[in-house]
Structure 1
Amino acid sequence: MKRRVVDLFCACICLTVIGVAILYPNQIRARNTILVTAILLEVVFLILSIRDKEERKEAVGHLGMGLPSESELITEIVLLSEEDTELMTWDMYGKIAMIIGRDVKENQVDIDLGRSTYASMVDIEHAVLNYSIGNWYVEDLGSTNGISVKKAEDGRVYKLSADTPCRMERGDCLYVGLNRLLLR
């Protein structure tokens, strides 16, 4: 960004030199040489500023900072059995935060695993899913049995530290205790 500003500033200086050379032709020695040089430099600095802008767009895309495409959007979370059948589904579309846990009437959770096979391994408020800048993030709320994430891109399972958000992608699986939640 700073490079682009400097390039645009230099282009403005060249434009000023061109303007002065055109407005005061009789008062500048080697007017034609200065004019040609200023025009060439103007073109070079404009090209550099445009190139810097395009490089920045590419860098943002490579860092994963852009918004996900339609096919990458996570719109639901599914509780899977050990045989990969769907036991329960929760809609995530239009939400910005979802608490995962067990509903014991004194709290409200969005994803209630209280009736799941491994409900005893789920804390009352086990984890939270937060939506920010086009992505979902999961965070362990200091649970007893923790959270693990199986990333779709490499198939590896990662254990999360408490209070450390992890960016989720479509196809990732969350392990809440022994419960398996697929994000799709």
Structure 2
Amino acid sequence: MNRRFVFDVSGIIAAILCVVIVGFLGRGLKGGYIFYMFSFLISGSLIYFAVKDFSFKKEKIQDTFLSELVLLSEEDTVVKTWNILGKNSLVIGKKNSEEDIDIDLSDTYFSGTVSDVHAILNYVDGSWYIEDMQSKNGTQIKGFLEDKLYNIKDGQSKLTRKDYIFIGLNKLQIR
């Protein structure tokens, strides 16, 4: 079980116990109002942080939830779509008899700029990464709101929602 989850649940239980104890015993103690205020302050803060953590995790999951890869035309209209939901690794390239290709670009206008095994998309720890496989025309990525292309040479580069991927001269977008 996640330690953070156990901490949040035990904090909520402690807050509820604090309210119950104050309700039964607080009236008989001198300075009961201070005890009330202290108990409500602790219980309120524990509940606030538990709810805040939950909503933050929910936003993070939704932000990284990428389900498709699309091939775009020069006018940025969708030409072809591939479902990547539930996949761990996808090979991008041109279909041939030797390799299994998941994202086949052999029928695209710029297929001459695509190597047989051009790049690999990997899903690791909730994020997608792309790695160039020593292709002849390279792999580049560009952030959705950025103007600069980044060449991928060694290692993997992390992708985020709406990033553009250039496989040779083919423009893809992860959504």
TM-score where L is the length of structure 1: 0.62
Q: CA RMSD in A?
A: 2.7
**What is the alpha-carbon distance in structure 1 between the residues aligned to residue 146 and residue 98 of structure 2?**
39
> Any unmatched runs of 5+ in structure 2?
1-48
TM-score where L is the length of structure 2: 0.65
Identity of aligned residues (%): 37
Q: Report if aligned partners of 1:68, 1:134 keep a CA contact under 8 Å in 2.
A: no
1:143 to 135, 143, 158: 135
Residue identity opposite 1:83 in structure 2: E
Q: Counterpart of 1:70 in 2: which secondary structure? A: helix
Across the two proteins, how many residue pairs are aligned to each other?
Answer: 126
1:178 to 163, 169, 173: 169
Residue 164 (structure 1) aligns with: 155
1:122 to 91, 108, 114: 114
Q: Report if aligned partners of 2:64, 2:127 keep a CA contact under 8 Å in 1.
A: no
Q: Deviations over 1:26-65 (max 9, x none)?
A: xxxxxxxxxxxxxxxxxxxxxxxxxxxx9xxx9xx9xxxx
| Alignment map for 1:48-63 (pairs within 5 Å) | none
- Distance change (3 Å), C-alpha of 1:128 and 1:96: same
Quick check: 1:79 aligned with 2:71? yes
| Alignment map for 1:98-137 (pairs within 5 Å) | 98-137=90-129
Residue identity opposite 1:140 in structure 2: D
Which structure has the larger Rg over C-alpha atoms? Answer: 1
